[in-house]
Amino acid sequence: MSPDLPIDIDATDAKKPRWRRYLPGVLITVVCTVLAAIMSMWFAATNLAMVYLLGVVLAATRFGREASVVAAVLGVIAFDFFFIPPLYSFAISDTQYLLAAIVLLTVGLVISSLAAGLRRQTRIAIHRERRTAALYAMTRELAVASSLDEIASSAASHLAQVFDADGMILIRNPDGTLRQLSTAGDARLLTSIEASIADWVLAHGVAAGFGTGTLPAADAMYLPLNGSLGMRGVLVVRLRNQQRLAPEQQHLLETFANQIAVAVERDQLWRQARDAAFAAQEERLRNSLLSSISHDLRTPLAVMSGSASSLLQGDSQLPAGSQRQIVETINDESQRMTRIVNNILDMTRLESGPVQLDLQWYPLEEILGAVLGRLKDQLGRRSVRIDIPCDLPMLHVDGALFEKVLINLLENAAKYTPADAYIDVSASCEDGRIQIRAMDNGPGIPKGSERRLFEKFYRGQTEGAISGTGLGLSICRAIVEAHGGRIWAENRPEGGAIFALVLPLTAVPYEHTMHQVP
Amino acid sequence: MSAERPVVIVIEDEPQIRQVLRVTLEANGFRCIEAESARRGLLDASTNRPDLMLIDLGLPDRDGIEVIRAVREWSAVPIIVLSARSYEATKIDALDAGADDYVTKPFTAGELLARLRVALRHAASRGRPEAKQVFAMGALHVDLLRRQVSVSGQEVHLTPIEFRLLTVLIQNAGRVVTYSHLLRDVWGPGKADQNHYVRTYIGDLRRKLEADPARPIYLLTEVGVGYRLLAD
């Protein structure tokens, strides 16, 4: 890709050899002389000076300062030689002709100077316009970049387009070291980066390397990325043609670096703000967990220690029936505490990182059977009706975790329904998914809280009549989502709650190939 | 070492749990030897010829599973594992290392004593396989020699694999049997990791033996670990 901008304002003229810059002035004088010779048949000699003036204007506007000066000087000489008596000599006999010659020379030189200035202004304006456009294009891209890598790649592409250079951003880590951001097509640059120069630039906040006063022997430039709140990193730029940049260009490159620094800083500050918000939320959750745990654990603990101490104090004075009642209370409360602690442990385990699933094939019936066996006491007189089609595919789940899902769902149903309620558990397979539903005919879910139920520490009923940490359903959600499924709750039109979950269906491997006895 | 009072070595570092265990065990006719560390427990085991060992998996000086392996090098004494961890993999590791069964803390006295009795009975019958020709439990009646199975007097026809599966479970009645144990004993070696075969056949077996296969009363599931055939 070739650079968009001229290397220098006067570059197009400066590059030509000197004689080519003067030549148009000579040619224009020749043409003017021919024209003036023809016109001299009808016009007085002094008027012919105007023809030369026109030539100077033309040379100044079209060919630049050198050509116009040549045209002005040669024009005066030619005018004097060919048209001022005595003809064909440089002598001037009449003062009026002398005046005409002097005016011609003066006006010619002034015009040439003005026109050349104008040309230069135009070029500067065009240059500025292009520079602004290039900066604008990059700034616009940087503004929408949503990651450091995106910033790096758009910076690299603009550096390549505008300066014909490879660019790379080194970001400052919190510990002061530098880290490369990945960009496309930077393999050559990567190998030539000199860490010591980059570190120096980071420490001093001044550009170094190629084309600068510090370590100019390096083949890349190292520019500081200076954000408003401190150094953000270093921009490394390697010009592909290895020619020094003109001051204008150097300036533009520094502006680029500033824009990149602003973008990097914006991205980093945004991330910091987000992390801070996240940490604050975690903190709130932790506080809520602490208050929830301390309440939920303290209640059964108080009951147990109260019961035990009354047994100790009363000794044998208590009737046998009361003693038994107290012991039963201790037993019940210890089981309640076990459930709470297990829930807290499960949640901690599920949240401590990605869950390692021990995926195996289970018939739903088997897990459900184990769950119903465990919950026998809690379900009490509630009748559990099971409707599982016999051709339901096996579930590909972590058995122990999935058992917890069903335990929590049925435990919830038992907790929130009257003692004679019924609970329906059904399953179906459609659209490549297995759906499992647990329905009850209890009071249902408070309107509007269907989603919040699955949040941590949310409880259907705020007063402490029903015990629990409010963790059960959020554990269910964490487990189901770890299996790639979804869980939700809704109310039945005829009253009662439905808890439903879907799991993606996985193809069962060769199921019945081992019927023969080996 | 009286003949009537079976000797149980308890290796457990928590003094409160040791105390509960001692009270429970002594009240139920066991003699209890307490050890607070793996080293002490192994020493006691070698000098006291215990009838049973109760080993906690979280010992301060040595991993409980290593203790099981160490005991198994020279003794077939029944070992019951006490585990606070509910991680199924740990239970399977302990069973594979040679433990007979496990009890998860917190446990109930009834649960613990049932496990101990099953383990003792199993150890006692180890030398006399003919003692288990007939298995009867509730409405279920199995004659292993004649290969006859009946539920409430009604004869049930089992496929050869189902019968083999039932036989292994009966031989270990009351104890948890891991998937790998069942695969090895029913299908032979080389079929590890095929746990779903076991589950499929257990499902078939339940449909034939249980009144309500979704609420089994004989063939119980220990999710993630294996199965337990209920014994009286």
Q: Report the share of chain A in percent with pLDDT over 70.
A: 89
Determine the CATH number of domain B129-229: 1.10.10.10
> What are residue B121's phi and psi, to 5 degrees?
-65, -40
| Local structure of A338: helix, strand or coil | helix
DSSP string computed for A75-117: HHHHHHHHHSSSTTSS----HHHHHHHHHHHHHHHHHHHHHHH
pLDDT confidence of B70, banded at 50, 70, 90? very high
Residue of B nearest to A343 (CA): B86
Given CB atoms, is B190 within the 8 Å cutoff of chain A? no
Query: Do the chains contact at A399 and B202, CB–CB below 8 Å?
Result: no
Cα–Cα dist B169/A312, whole Å: 46
Nearest Cβ partner for A514 among B89, B197, B203:
B197
Please determine, for residue B183, whether its predicted confidence score (pLDDT) is greater than 60.
Answer: yes
pLDDT band at A460 (very low <50, low <70, confident <90, very high): low
Look at residues B197, B187, B191, B199 and name the one whose alpha carbon lies nearest to residue B223.
B199
Average pLDDT of the segment spanning A473-491: 90
Instruction: Select from 1.10.3210.10, 3.40.50.1220, 1.10.260.40, 3.40.50.2300 the CATH code of B7-124.
Output: 3.40.50.2300
A467 pLDDT higher than 60: no
Chain A residue whose CA is closest to B216:
A369
More confident residue, A193 or B101: B101
Helix (H) or strand (E) holding A53, with range, is helix A49-63
| pLDDT at position A458 | 66
Q: Could A511 and B215 be called an inter-chain contact, meaning their C-beta atoms sit closer than 8 Å?
A: no
Same fold, B7-124 and B129-229: no
Sequence-distant (6+) residues with CB within 8 A of A51 are: A32, A35, A36, A39
Q: How far apart are CA A113 and CA B146, in angstroms?
A: 125
B-chain CB neighbours of A517 within 8 Å are: 160-161, 164
Contact by Cβ (8 Å): B100, B126: no
Query: pLDDT averaged over chain A?
Result: 82
Give the count of Cβ contacts less than 8 A between chain A and B. 78
Which pLDDT does position B131 carry in this prediction?
57
Q: What is the mean pLDDT of residues A476-485?
A: 90
CB A142 within 8 A of CB A159: no
The distance from CA A24 to its chain's CA centroid, rounded to whole angstroms, is 57
Flag whether pLDDT at B187 surpasses 70: yes
In chain A, CATH 3.30.565.10 sits at: 359-504
Looking at A113-122, A123-132, A283-292, B72-81, which range is the least confident one? A283-292
Of chain B, the percentage scoring pLDDT greater than 90 comes to 48
Structure tokens at B126: 């180890």
What pLDDT does residue A459 have? 59
- Angle (nearest 5°) at CA A472 between A275 and B176: 120
The pLDDT, as a whole number, for residue A510 is 55
Residue B29: helix, strand or coil by DSSP?
coil
Residue B203 at interface with chain A, using a CB cutoff of 8 Å? yes
CB within 8 Å: A400 and B195: no
Would an 8 Å CB–CB cutoff place B224 in contact with chain A? yes
Is pLDDT of B71 > 70? Answer: yes
For A452, phi then psi, to 5°, come to -65, -20
**Separation in Å, CA of B111 to nearest CA in chain A:** 13
Give the minimum alpha-carbon distance from B17 to chain A in angstroms, rounded to a whole number.
15
CB contact under 8 A, B202 and A366: yes
Residue scoring higher pLDDT (A93 or A15): A93
Question: For position A218, what pLDDT does the model report?
Answer: 84
**CA–CA distance, A299 with A297 (Å, rounded to integer):** 6
Inform me whether the pLDDT recorded for B52 exceeds 90. yes
Q: What is the pLDDT of residue A2?
A: 39
Which of the residue ranges A261-275, A466-480, A501-515 would you say has the lowest mean pLDDT? A501-515
CB count, 10 Å around CB of A511? 12
With bands split at pLDDT 50, 70 and 90, how would you rate the model's confidence at A463? very low
The answer to which of A185-194, A400-409, A498-507 has the lowest mean pLDDT is A185-194
Which whole-number Å values give the CA distances from A492 to A377, A382, A438, A455, in the listed order?
26, 18, 11, 21
Distances (CA, A) of B207 to A141, A345, B129: 67, 36, 28
Mean pLDDT of A207-232: 86
Nearest by CB: A372 against B197, B199, B215: B215
DSSP state of B9: E
Give this prediction's pTM.
0.61
- Whether B86 sits inside 8 A of A367 (CB atoms) is no
User: Is the CB of B196 less than 8 angstroms away from the CB of A369?
Assistant: no
Check if B187 contacts A (Cβ < 8 Å): yes
**SS3 label, residue B216:** coil
Contacts of B111 in chain A (CB under 8 A): none
User: CA-to-CA distance for B131 and A437, rounded, in angstroms?
Assistant: 47
CATH superfamily of the A146-272 domain: GAF domain (3.30.450.40)
Q: Quick one: closest CA in A to B163, which residue?
A: A517
Instruction: Answer whether A368 sits within 8 Å of B216, measured CB to CB.
Output: no
| Domain boundaries along the sequence of chain B | 7-124, 129-229
CATH class of A359-504: alpha beta
Is A370 in contact with B222 (Cβ distance < 8 A)?
Answer: yes
> How far is B41 from chain A, CA to nearest CA, in Å?
29
pLDDT score of A435: 94
| H or E segment to which residue A502 belongs | strand A497-504
CB contact under 8 A, B161 and A365: no
Structure confidence at residue A517 (pLDDT): 38
Quote the pLDDT of residue A466: 56
Question: What pLDDT does residue B160 have?
Answer: 92
Q: Flag the least confident range among A95-99, A226-230, A272-276.
A: A95-99
Which residues on B lie below 8 Å from A399 (Cβ)?
88, 223-224
Answer yes or no: do A515 and B159 touch at CB < 8 A: yes
Kindly indicate the confidence band of residue A30, based on its pLDDT and cuts at 50, 70 and 90: very high
- Mutation test of the interface with chain A: which of B204, B223, B227, B229, choosing the one with the most A Cβ atoms within 10 A? B223
Question: Please, which pLDDT band fits residue A316 given cuts at 50, 70 and 90?
Answer: low
Start and end residues for every CATH 1.10.287.130 domain found in chain A: 283-351
Checking if the pLDDT of A269 tops 80, the result is yes
Of A365, A508, A518, the CB nearest to B203: A365
Supply the CATH classification number for the domain A283-351: 1.10.287.130
pLDDT band at residue B25 under the 50/70/90 scheme: very high
Judged by a CB distance cut-off of 8 A, whether residue B223 touches chain A is: yes
- DSSP string computed for A152-221: HHHHHHHHHHHHSEEEEEEEEPTTS-EEEPP-TT-HHHHHH--HHHHHHHHHH-S-EETTSSSSTTSSSE
- A35 versus A9: the higher-pLDDT residue is A35
Residue of B nearest to A339 (CA): B106
**pLDDT for position A190:** 59
Contact A105, A68 (CB under 8 A): no
Q: How far is CA B117 from each of CA A26, A407, B28, B51, rounded to the nearest angstrom?
A: 124, 29, 11, 11
Position with higher pLDDT, A3 vs A160: A160
Contact with chain A for residue B215, Cβ under 8 A: yes
For residue A457, pLDDT over 70 is answered with no
* pLDDT above 50 (res A515): no
What is d(CA A405, CA A478) in angstroms, rounded to the nearest whole number?
9
Most confident range, picked from A86-100, A331-345, B82-96, B146-160: B146-160
Q: pLDDT by residue (tens digit) across A332-346?
A: 888 888 888 888 888
Query: Do the chains contact at A363 and B187, CB–CB below 8 Å?
Result: no
Q: Do B203 and A399 touch (CB under 8 A)?
A: no
Rounded mean pLDDT, B188-216: 85
Residues from chain B contacting residue A514 (CB–CB below 8 Å): 161, 187, 191, 194, 197
8 Å CB contact of A508 and B196: yes
Weakest mean pLDDT among A23-32, A173-182, A370-379: A173-182
* Mean pLDDT score, A445-455: 79
E-strand spans in B15-133? 31-35, 52-56, 79-83, 101-104
Q: What is the mean pLDDT of residues B2-30?
A: 88
Question: What pLDDT is attached to residue A373?
Answer: 87
